[in-house]
Structure 1
Amino acid sequence: MKIGIIGAGAIANFLLKEINSKQMKNLHINSILVRDVEKYRTLESSFGVKLYSNLDDFLQSDIDIVVEAANVQAVKTLLPAVMKKKDVVLISIGALADAELLTEISSLVDEYNHVVHLPSGAIGGLDIVQNAHALGSVTNVTLTTRKPASSLIEEIITDEKVIFAGKAVDAIKQFPKNMNVSIVLALAGLGVEKTNVRLVADPHIEKNIHQVDISGDFGEASIKITNNPFPENPKTSYLAAMSILGTLQRMNRNIRIGG
């Protein structure tokens, strides 16, 4: 599978090293879309890729799928045009908090018959949510996210403090930079208006901790994930970067587990 990437930051470099440098079987990154070609020119010689600054030229290059590894604004600006030509792996899932954009993407999926892949990112349990909800029988999905207090609030606290408790739709509006995981969880199951979210500032932890609790006719499930930071960008979890690579690998396998 031939891959094009939008963006040349930490995630793009991670994928280039893992896929191109290690010559991963059946995967190769051919093209990268950037705003400033000269700034990233060394990527061409280092990883055997071609840089583009024009979206049309990028989409017409030798690629089968596009990985968005830029930011929310890039998604809003570029994704509709990309989806008319290619399947997409979307990393900046926070963009889907925009109801109008989500509606537009849903329409484009139907019209152009292209797929949008949403990696699970920093959380787990999405397969359980989707499978258990196949008959619409999931009754509760709750995400509890704990983050180091200093990353959420300026106030100095000695005990943990719940700074939000409510529905995902409101969590996304109030904490757009901290609640990307709630979006993909909501899309996997009950939607943003029925998915429960708690955001906790904890002065005693140094890593982000996500716990997903699910209940329904199938029974109950709880998944807890403690995320190490991504070495090249501490603001991103290592698992989030891995989930993108895992998504690409699964597309190429004839035996697929779960889903």
Structure 2
Amino acid sequence: MQSIALIGYGGTAQTVVQELTKAAGNAGPDIHVVVRPGKVEQYRNMVPPMVQVIDNLACLPENVGLVIETAGHSAVSMYGHQVLSSGRDFGLISSGALADETLLEQLRAAALESGKHLLVFNGAVAAIDAITSAKAAGLQSLCYTGIKPATAWEGTPAAEQFDLGSLTAPTVIFEGSAREVALAYPKNANVAATVALAGVGMENTSVRLIADPHATVNRHRLDGTSALGRFEFETEARPSASNPKTSSSTAFSILAYLRGGPNALRLT
């Protein structure tokens, strides 16, 4: 397994580090955690002894071939170009950041120039292979529906439009394109952006978000039509204990990829 660096040390990164160190101990890959400048000491005691904490990508050793963003949209724009230009692959979970077309093209250009890969981890979404196959044959339409507990939408525009604590039935809180939802709900709608990048693009992927007061899991539904026929997929993912806005499966999609699985969409 290659040596890696993780940008950020929230719930997703903590799970990745915990699983890697638990499985391999001191014999595992080199792991670095990248934090904001001046925050090294704050995080040093939070990581296992074999994990290095740095606040500057220039401190990464040459054997680190993959840098993984787990810190939100701003981290994609802050670090992505620098990572790729340094001759390393860049993987991300905050795919909604790529709704910014300028940023996406800059990262693609940097990846192509350096001969490296720009990767989007599958996260909580299944059936990326079905979407890409349908796209190759002629994908005609793609709709994503995200259903989460009402509390998962606190701190989003939905909280300003609805009394989330008083909902008694599933309520549609957003309808629009994947680009619109990625910009309006940056912490909640990365799944929509990922399926859009795999399929018909940000503008042509329709999205529906639902707050369900009775839900205990995050549900992700995909409906599509293509020259091959029609497909429909639905998955249920338990919310992360540290952040109900994301699914626990996000960390394990990274781990599966690191262990040789096809759990990432390659954009270059």
Q: Quickly name the TM-score band, shorter chain normalised.
A: 0.7 to 0.9
Between the aligned partners of 1:257 and 1:203, the Cα distance in structure 2 is: 31
User: For residues 16-36 of structure 1, what are the alpha-carbon distances to aligned partners after superposition, in whole Å with 9 as ceiling and x for unaligned?
Assistant: 111123108x96133222231
Equivalent AA in structure 2 for residue 99 of structure 1: E
Return the offset for 1:172.
2.2
Higher relative contact order (CA 8 A, sep 6+): 2
Counterpart pick for 2:181 among 171, 174, 183: 171
Which residue, 109, 113, 116 being the options, matches 2:115? 113
1:167 aligned partner, one-letter code? S
Q: What corresponds to 1:16 in structure 2?
A: 17
Residue 217 of structure 1 deviates from its aligned partner by: 1.3
Whether 2:256 is the aligned partner of 1:246: answer yes
Matches within 5 A, 1:78-117: 78-85=79-86, 86-117=88-119
Q: Is the 8 A contact 1:30 1:62 kept in 2?
A: no
What 5-or-longer segments of structure 1 have no aligned partner?
none
Which range moves more in the overlay, 92-101 or 226-235? 226-235
In the TM superposition, 1:61-72 aligns within 5 A as 61-72=62-73
State how far apart, in whole Å, the 1-side matches of 2:178 and 2:237 are: 21
Instruction: Report the Cα distance in structure 1 between the residues aligned to 2:128 and 2:197, rounded to whole angstroms.
Output: 9
Cα RMSD, aligned residues only: 2.4
Please report how far the alpha carbon of residue 124 of structure 1 lies from its aligned counterpart in structure 2 after TM superposition.
Answer: 0.9
Please give the alpha-carbon distance, in whole angstroms, between the structure 2 residues aligned to 1:211 and 1:29: 37
SS at match of 2:64: coil
Hey, what's the Cα distance between the residues in 2 that align with 1:28 and 1:43?
19
Other-structure match for 1:195:
205
CA displacement at 1:257 relative to structure 2: 9.7
Q: In structure 1, what is the equivalent of residue 156 of structure 2?
A: none
Amino acid at match of 1:151: A
Structure 2 residue 40 is matched with structure 1 residue 34: no
Q: 1:181 aligns with which of 164, 174, 191?
A: 191
Query: 1:74 is matched with which residue?
Result: 75
CA distance in structure 2 between the partners assigned to 1:241 and 1:98 by the alignment: 24
Q: Which amino acid aligns with 2:99?
A: A
TM-score (norm 2): 0.85
Alpha-carbon distance between aligned partners in 2 of 1:257 and 1:227, rounded to the nearest angstrom: 16
Deviation at 1:43, TM superposition (A): 5.1
Q: TM-score, normalised by structure 1?
A: 0.88
